């Protein structure tokens, strides 16, 4: 039991099994302000996602910048920080088999003009910059983003 290798062998499969079933989303300020929180949440549940954690909160420009740090060299980074901190958001951790890929399908393309009919962004986004929802792009980022907003005791 004191052997760390044995300990790691037991832990790893559990960690991976959990990660593949979860994704993280935010209903962005534009969609919350436009009164779409209920409709979007209803679509998420109707598509078979279980809500593991949920909260309404406000990002500062600094925290929005940390969240989207991967885009810090992009020309739209400053606007993204402003838009994401303009008013409150609703953050959620979601669970479903194949959660990351299935959720990206449900939300549609980044630019709502290119999103498939019936997707969340097609229905509720204002524009490329204010595109209603965020969805994690990998299992690894889903875990990082979930813990950016929620402690273990806030996840059910």
134 is catalytic: yes
Pick one of ligand ATP, Mg ion, none as the site partner of residue 80 (Cβ within 5 to 8 A by kind): ligand ATP
Residue 79 CB: number of other CB atoms within 10 A?
Answer: 12
Least distance between Mg ion and beta carbon 6 (Å): 38
Angstrom distance (rounded) from CA 60 to CA 151: 19
Using CB under 6 A as the binding rule, whether residue 129 contacts ligand ATP is answered as: yes
For 50, 66, 145, the CA distances from 16, given in Å and listed in that order, are 19, 25, 16
3-state DSSP assignment of residue 2: coil
Contact between 110 and ligand ATP by CB under 6 A: the answer reads yes
Which span sits near ligand ATP by CB under 6 A: 3-11, 54-62, 123-131, 146-154?
123-131
In sequence order, what are the beta bridge partners of 94? Answer: 23, 51
Q: Are strands 50-57 and 89-95 parallel, antiparallel or unpaired?
A: antiparallel
Question: Could you tell which of ligand ATP, Mg ion, none binds residue 65, using a CB distance below 5 to 8 A set by kind?
Answer: none
Please report whether residue 131 would count as binding ligand ATP according to CB under 6 A.
yes
Q: By CB under 6 A, what part of segment 20-79 binds ligand ATP?
A: 71, 76
Cβ contacts of 63 within 8 Å, gap of 6 or more: 85
Is residue 148 a contact residue for ligand ATP (CB under 6 A)? no
Residues forming contacts to ligand ATP in the complex (CB under 6 A) are 71, 76, 80, 110, 128-129, 131, 134-135, 137
Q: Supply the residues annotated as catalytic.
A: 134
């Amino acid at each position: 039991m004191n052997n760390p290798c044995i300990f790691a062998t037991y832990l790893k499969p559990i960690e991976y099994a959990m990660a593949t079933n979860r994704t993280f989303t935010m209903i962005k300020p534009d969609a919350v302000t436009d009164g779409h929180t209920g409709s979007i949440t209803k679509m998420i549940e109707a598509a078979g996602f279980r809500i593991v954690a949920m909260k309404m909160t406000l990002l500062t420009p600094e925290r929005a910048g940390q969240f989207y740090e991967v885009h810090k060299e992009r020309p739209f980074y400053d606007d993204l920080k402003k838009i994401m901190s303009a008013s409150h958001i609703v953050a959620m951790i979601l669970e479903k088999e194949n959660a990351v890929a299935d959720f990206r399908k449900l939300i549609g393309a980044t630019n709502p003009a290119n999103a498939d009919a019936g997707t969340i962004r097609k229905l509720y986004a204002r524009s490329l910059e204010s595109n209603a929802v965020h969805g994690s792009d990998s299992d690894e980022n889903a875990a990082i983003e979930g813990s950016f907003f929620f402690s273990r005791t806030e996840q059910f």
